[in-house]
Structures are given as structure tokens and as C-alpha cells.
Amino acid sequence: MTQVPPWWRVYLEPKPGWDAADYEEVLKEFEKKPPNRQLLSPILAGFIAGVVQANGSLGYLKILQNPETYTPFTEIKCDVETLNFISRQINDGWGFVSERGARLIVIGLRCILLLKIIGPYLRGWKYRAYDAIIGNGYKLHGPMLEKIFQTYELDYGLRTVSIEGKKFRMYVFRGKLPQQGDLKS
């Protein structure tokens, strides 16, 4: 009897050009906490995309210094109740709560899955950031990050986040500021 793969597997097949040397190992970790199938609901996907569009971040987290290695992230910022709901759908990530609100950081292959589902609902430079991330996979090395900024016409800001006691550098995408006269009325 043929085993049917889980619903989310179709979203995670490596594309040509991805660094997928450890793909099977990463996939096994992913399978330990599968996402909720409700993510496929256009209403839920549109809702999460709206939260990301309004107050979320996309970018890369520097996970290794030598060799220089990056993994994509989606950061979702909102109130605690909404964040708990979104977290249950994704079924993984790092949640942070402070006086300024709550945020959830989703990285790697799970970030790819989330973006493939909500990406079509994103607009502007966040759509370009989504396109850059899913086109380049769950792991990058060295100069690839700079190439992505140029190719997709994205700028970035730097931040630091502490996850499980370790500090990581975040390269947070942002749109390039339009030149005078570039705005359309």
C-alpha cells in the first residue's frame, strides 16, 4: 500500500538552486511538530498575511559565523491572544512577550511553508521579500544574501534577537525608499 505524504510536503519540495544538503534531516525535525491543516484556509491565510503586512518582518537570521550561514525568518507582531492563535496554527516558533506587545519568530523550513501559504496575499516590497525567500530556500551561505538584496531591490536593517540564550543577528528586509518623483499618484 502506498503511503500518502502529509499535506504540507508539497509546499516544501526543494527548488533548483536551494542548498538542500541536509534537507532530509531538517524535514525529520519539521515532522515532529506538523503545522495545523487550517493554515490552508484562504480566510486564515489572508488574516495572517494581513498581520504580517501591517506589522510583521521578513528577513534572514545569521545562524553560523563560519561558514557564514543564514536562515529565513518571519516575525509576526500583534497582541498576545492573536499570537497564541497564530502560533497554534504554525505549531512552532519562538514567542516573546513584553510591554510593547507580543511577537513570534518562525524560521527555516517552517518559514518557507508559512510564506508559501500567505505569500500571495502580501503586497509591495513584502511580496518581493517573500519571493526572495521562497526562491532561495531555507539556508543561504556567504555572499548570497547581498545578491538577494540587489536582485529583489530590497534594503535591510540590522537587529539582534536572543533565542534560547543565544544572540543572533537579524537582517530585516525593508523596501528601498523611492527617489523623488518615483511616487505614482
CATH number at residue 88: 3.10.28.10
Asked whether residue 126 is assigned to any structural domain, the reply reads yes
Asked whether residue 6 is assigned to any structural domain, the reply reads no
Under DSSP, the state recorded for 165 is T
- Residue pair 103/55 in contact (Cβ under 8 Å)? The answer is no
Asked whether residue 24 is assigned to any structural domain, the reply reads no
C-alpha to C-alpha distances, 40 to 46, 90, 122, nearest whole angstrom: 10, 11, 16
Structural domain count, the chain: 1
Asked whether residue 23 is assigned to any structural domain, the reply reads no
User: What is 15-83 written as a DSSP string?
Assistant: PTT---TTHHHHHHHHHTSPPPGGGG-HHHHHHHHHHHHHHEEEEEEEEETTTTEEEEEEEEEE-HHHH
Asked whether residue 1 is assigned to any structural domain, the reply reads no
* Tens of each residue's pLDDT in the chain, 185 residues: 677 778 999 899 998 889 888 999 999 999 999 999 999 999 999 999 999 999 999 999 999 988 899 999 999 999 999 999 999 999 988 999 988 889 999 999 999 999 999 999 999 999 999 999 999 999 999 889 999 999 999 999 999 998 888 999 999 999 876 655 555 54
Asked whether residue 184 is assigned to any structural domain, the reply reads no
- Residues of the domain holding 70: 35-174
Asked whether residue 161 is assigned to any structural domain, the reply reads yes
Asked whether residue 25 is assigned to any structural domain, the reply reads no
